[in-house]
Amino acid sequence: MNTPEQPDQTVPGPDALQRFARSWASAVLTLALGVVLLILLPRVLDDFALVQATVYVVMSILAVSLGFIWGFGGILCFGQSAFFGLGAYAYAIAVTNLGDSTLPFLLAIVLPAAFAGVLGYLIFYGRLSDVYMGVITLTVTLILFNLINSTAGPEWKIGVAPLGGFNGIPGIAPLNMPGNVDDVIGPRGLFELSLGALLLVYLLLRTLLAAKPGRVIVASKENEQRLLLLGYDARAYKLSAFVLGAAIAGLAGCLFANWGAFTSPTVFSLAQSAQIIIWVIVGGLGTLVGPVVGCVAIQWLTSQIGTQQTINSNLVLGAILVVFVLMVPRGIVPSIGSICALLTRRSRRKAYARSNINAEVSSRAAQDEHDTPDDKAKVDPHGETVR
Amino acid sequence: MTPLLETRNLNVRFGGVHATRDVNFTLAEAELRCVIGPNGAGKSTFFKLLTGQVKPTSGQILFRGQDISNMQSHQPGRLGIGIKTQVPSLFNGLSVWENVWLAARRVNTPQQTERVTRMTLERVGMLAYRDATVGLLAHGQRQWVELAVVIAPDPPLILLDEPAAGMSDAEVTRTAELILDINRQHALVVVEHDMSFIRKIARTVTVLHQGAIIKEDTPDRIMSDPLIQQIYLGKKPQ
């Protein structure tokens, strides 16, 4: 009774390209490309271009943090910049007080994560809906913006670090080798550290998504009720994803504070929050490479527009967002994937026609053979599904 | 011996509606029980009580002697109660394999999970569709995938709400065979109103009417009972 019916030729499922995107091969390819850039760029770019590239990479880490929680966990956080800003400020204040940058570096990751833990606990365990998630995270970001913005007076300081209000904190000490305050990181070192961090974050998230926690997080976006029925505490998984996203954003904030040796309340601004969302939409929701592509493309475009006076860059960004939402709603990376899939399908159809002829020939030859059951299900379990 | 599932004086009131009245229901290990009743008899409320979606106004639900009536929504699944709701509740964007994998993974090591997932899909006859996206499958196929999802963690008790709803005759027959096959290892409560389906699977039937249990007996005796014909079928039998 349990003989599986043979699927017809049109079993709906992922095509070869989607399978590739989820395979370890694509992860290795992406990481290899990253390592090549890591070695090559500091050798070919001049100092100015390298500093420019560093901020692209730092912002890419921030974009990936939102791309992860939104694209895979279904958590649309309007306040990813809050964690980014907290990371920057935590590093700036701690390093001014302590001198050595080891603890401040860790604090810039842990503090935003802890803040996200409290905020996320209230949201997920309070069973607030997705709309409130957006409203609350946006509001928290604006509160932080106004709070930091109004700390301009000399009486606002933590330890010996003045908060600086809307002027921000200038002259932030750069990262140093742990234990040696004099051995500070240079522009090249910061680029290598940032790109290395981005690659590590990518590897971490890909590994996570291939394992049980990542799969449960993806499933919670699909159907939370089913997860609960299966005995998974969906809230705990969502909260963990949210906290991890905040930690990654905090790391980006710390690197950003290092990049300009400066941080100001604009890291908490509405424009900053919106920009991250635009990067993810343009690059491609539901991928990890997409946010990086979107972030670099948009930032490069913004700086190009900035070199001339006729068109306002915000106007162009707005137009790009509208075009993408209406015409390329899946974003750059998934759309490139679809185009490639279309091309391979065309060539596969030809190959299929050819193999049909071969199959007919061989089946005639096999008619005298034993009547063995033909298990058409593929042997490769393809269970190691990763993204 | 403690029954697998037991309800004691279970009552639910929604405002003025008394949806469940003094229900004392007992299910033994490995039993297969059908719960029937006309529209509005309280079948759905009873099912939701068992799954924890509705909290009782008074009374207790005991699973192997443990009160489960006020548990958090993910805890019945942890205890070993597999639940299939009427509308297929699956991860529609994921593949058939990933759906069953997630179900099996909570209680198994990664290696075991691969094996259990394959076995379970073979059992419901959906292994050939392993890579298909669940949301794009036909309704009947999704019902079978959900059955696979429910049995994959090997729960001692399985609750099914109208497992044959919206199926063609051939699919209903196959689903009935599947349920009998599942019953070799698992106890089941099947809430259903399709009489022909119940004839195929039931050994004992519980009849609900106006929120209360009015009879528990074999399907043949239930269907020849004049009182039940009157309230359930609303007409004389053919």
Among B77, B91, B137, select the one facing A231 at the smallest CB separation.
B77
Q: Taking CB atoms and an 8 Å cutoff, what residues of chain A touch B133? A: 12-14
Minimal-distance CA residue of chain B relative to A234: B74
Sign of the torsion formed by the C-alpha atoms of A24, A27, A31 and A36: positive
Q: What percent of chain B has pLDDT over 90?
A: 55
Q: Taking CB atoms and an 8 Å cutoff, what residues of chain A touch B126? A: 4
Residue A231 touches partner B, C-beta closer than 8 Å? yes
For the stretch A102-117, pLDDT in tens is 999 999 999 999 999 9
For the stretch B37-74, pLDDT in tens is 888 888 889 999 998 888 999 999 999 989 998 888 88
Please report which confidence band the pLDDT of residue A1 belongs to, taking 50, 70 and 90 as the band edges: very low
CA distance B142 to chain A (A): 13
Residue B67: beta bridge partners?
A: B62
Interface ipTM: 0.89
Q: Taking CB atoms and an 8 Å cutoff, what residues of chain B touch A223? A: 89-92
Query: Given an 8 Å threshold on Cβ–Cβ distance, is B101 in contact with A215?
Result: yes
Mean pLDDT of A76-80: 91
Placement of tokens 């696979």 in the chain:
B148
Task: Report phi then psi at B72, rounded to 5.
Answer: -70, 160
Q: In 3D, which of B45, B150, B148 has the Cα closest to residue B96?
A: B148
Q: What percent of chain A has pLDDT over 70?
A: 85
Domain boundaries, chain B: 90-154
Average pLDDT of chain B to the nearest whole number: 89
Task: Return the axis-axis angle of helices A80-98 and A130-149, rounded to nearest 10°.
Answer: 40
For the stretch A227-281, pLDDT in tens is 999 999 999 999 999 999 999 999 999 999 999 999 999 999 888 888 999 999 9
CA distance A33 to chain B (A): 29
Residue A85 one-letter amino acid: G
Q: Above 60 in pLDDT, residue A370? A: no
Please report which confidence band the pLDDT of residue A385 belongs to, taking 50, 70 and 90 as the band edges: very low
Q: Taking CB atoms and an 8 Å cutoff, what residues of chain A touch B181? A: 1-2
Q: Mutation target for A interface from B47, B48, B72, B73: give the one with most A CBs within 10 A.
A: B73
pLDDT at A352: 67
Q: Mutation target for B interface from A72, A212, A226: give the one with most B CBs within 10 A.
A: A226
Would you say A291 and A277 are in contact if contact means Cβ atoms under 8 Å apart? Answer: no
Residue A161: beta bridge partners?
A: A158
Query: Given an 8 Å threshold on Cβ–Cβ distance, is A223 in contact with B137?
Result: no
Query: Given an 8 Å threshold on Cβ–Cβ distance, is B92 in contact with A222?
Result: yes
3-state SS class at A6: coil
Q: Above 60 in pLDDT, residue A323? A: yes
CA distance A358 to chain B (A): 23
Query: Which residues, numbered 166 to 225 in chain A, qualify as contacts with chain B under a Cβ-Cβ cut-off of 8 Å?
Result: 212, 215-216, 218-219, 221-223, 225
Q: CB burial class (10 A; 0-12, 13-18, 19+) of residue A319?
A: exposed
Query: Given an 8 Å threshold on Cβ–Cβ distance, is A231 in contact with B106?
Result: yes
**Which residues of chain B are modeled with pLDDT < 70?**
232-238
Query: Given an 8 Å threshold on Cβ–Cβ distance, is B128 in contact with A228?
Result: no
Query: Given an 8 Å threshold on Cβ–Cβ distance, is B77 in contact with A229?
Result: yes
For the stretch A197-206, pLDDT in tens is 999 999 999 9
Query: Given an 8 Å threshold on Cβ–Cβ distance, is A222 in contact with B78?
Result: no
Query: Given an 8 Å threshold on Cβ–Cβ distance, is A223 in contact with B91?
Result: yes
